[in-house]
Amino acid sequence: MSRKEKAPGASSRGATLKESSHIHSQDRRSFLRGGTLLAGATVASAAGLTGARAQRLEIPPSGKEMGHIIEAEAYGMPSKFEAKVKRRRTDVLVNKQNWSDWSMTPLQSQLGIVTPNGLFFERHHAGVPDIDPDHHVLVIHGMVKQPLKFSMSDLMRYPSVSKFHFLECSGNGLTDWTKAASKTVQQSHGLLSCAQWTGVPLATLLDEAGVDPAAKWALFEGADGSTHARSIPMDKVLADTLLVWGQNGEMLRPEQGYPLRAFVPGWEGNVSVKWLRRVKIGDQPWHLRSETARYTDPMPEGKWRQFSFMMECKSVITRPSGGMKLQGPGSYEIEGFAWSGNGSIKAVDVTLDGGKNWREARLEEPALDKCLTRFRYTWNWDGGPAKIASRAVDSTGYVQPTVSDIAKARALVGFVQHHNGVFPWSIGQDGEVKNAIV
């Protein structure tokens, strides 16, 4: 039982939002009085049934068989009935080689704000290495008084912190700027996940190494076959960058950098270098290929912007979303996520008419810094065509822009990164929900 992704038109349990209810009990009572859509099917119409009389109603049968016993030392898995809730390799931008690859989180099925580790999106440039933590070493060197090296057990002795933060690939949404290429929110926004990360502030280790006052940048480099590396400004390194070994209560998953990754809160995913083997301190960026040919933003007049690290404030409706189908007029619960690399979410507005009018959605606590925040809005659909979208505002006052707002400042050519535009879904009279970005 889940909100599964389905092809448009297919019967979908998650999509058959044919009935809903209001959130205020007064509304709910009016709903009943109207004799229209009941959220629960009435099993007896007479009011005032006693407990004794109700017992004559059909109670669902109890299981008659013994269930599965506990496997000694098993690591638990989802129900077999949830087999379709999986991360998926790209199916919009076809990738015919497997080494530099990515998979996407099924956001249409995600509940709460924590992405299960087994569904956390993946992105890597040379496959996932199998690193033995007993032999993994991190070196801190460069413009420091005292170069240091650490085993994993050295690092795990430090006072650690655990923080909830989203992680988003800078390329999330790149197929859907000027055409509606993605059918589902997994395809359009699934390079986004959220976890509680555990590790040590890099500032703690650098304080021990003694950073040269002239240092301005740090290099993070991975131990995987691609030796992926990025240059990070010292201010961010010292502000809140972590070296993490934990993800949602357990050690990092291999595809998330086991046994050690950088974690740069709120910045594009590729700077949170995985399988981290060294941090080098310098006085200027390294201008690596990942900083000149990749992970740059095209600008007007043929210029390219380097080092646009920040994942700006963004939101998306995950339910109803592309591929789902509404089952006729009635009350529906609109739900989605909002997040900002610059702080916490202060408000989310929802439009039902393609941006003419906006209404404030409800935010769910805790609304944490640089973390997914859930919003909800109860909508009475009249059965006519509609165009729904969300627009988030973060704690700096920044308002999520539309694609046309972004197009005024940047050039939309090639594989354009950093798509934080408002993302609309259209609802047809048949109830089908489709990508309506253009």
Site for its own copies in 281-300 (CB under 8 A): 281-283
In angstroms, what CA-CA distances link 225 with 131, 221, 256, 275, 294?
Answer: 11, 11, 15, 10, 18
Contact pick of 92, 114, 399, 407 for its own copies (by CB under 8 A): 114
Contact pick of 235, 250, 353, 430 for its own copies (by CB under 8 A): 250
**Do 228 and 257 form a contact (C-beta atoms < 8 A)?**
no
* Residue 432 DSSP symbol: B
β-strand partners of 336: 317, 375
Any idea which residue has 């016993």 for tokens? 69
Contact pick of 5, 143, 183, 416 for its own copies (by CB under 8 A): 143
Buried b (16+ CB within 10 A) or exposed e, 316-339: bbbbbbbbbbbeeebbbebbbbbb
Q: Which of residues 196-235 bind its own copies (CB under 8 A)?
A: 196-198, 204-205, 207-210, 212, 221-225, 227
Residue 145 vs 408, nearer CB to its own copies: 145
Residue 296 vs 390, nearer CB to its own copies: 390
Kindly tell me the sign of the dihedral angle through the C-alpha atoms of 305, 308, 312, 317.
positive
Kindly tell me the sign of the dihedral angle through the C-alpha atoms of 127, 128, 132, 135.
positive
Contact pick of 177, 220, 245, 337 for its own copies (by CB under 8 A): 245
Binding mask 328-347 for its own copies (x = CB under 8 A): ----xx-x------------
Q: Which of residues 35-54 bind its own copies (CB under 8 A)?
A: 38-45, 47-51, 54
Q: Which of residues 346-365 bind its own copies (CB under 8 A)?
A: 364
How many residues at the interface with its own copies, by CB under 8 A?
Answer: 160
Contact pick of 6, 108, 110, 350 for its own copies (by CB under 8 A): 110
Residue 133 vs 343, nearer CB to its own copies: 133
End-to-end CA gap in the chain: 32
99-107, 181-189, 230-238, 417-425 -> range binding its own copies (CB under 8 A): 99-107
Contacts of 257 (CB under 8 A, 6+ apart): 222, 272, 273, 274, 275, 276
Q: Which of residues 363-402 bind its own copies (CB under 8 A)?
A: 364, 366, 368, 374, 376, 378
Three-state DSSP class for 64? coil
Q: What is the rounded CA–CA span in Å between residue 277 and residue 262? A: 10
Q: Is 94 in the site for its own copies (CB under 8 A)?
A: no
Beta carbon of residue 345, minimum distance to its own copies (angstroms, whole number): 15
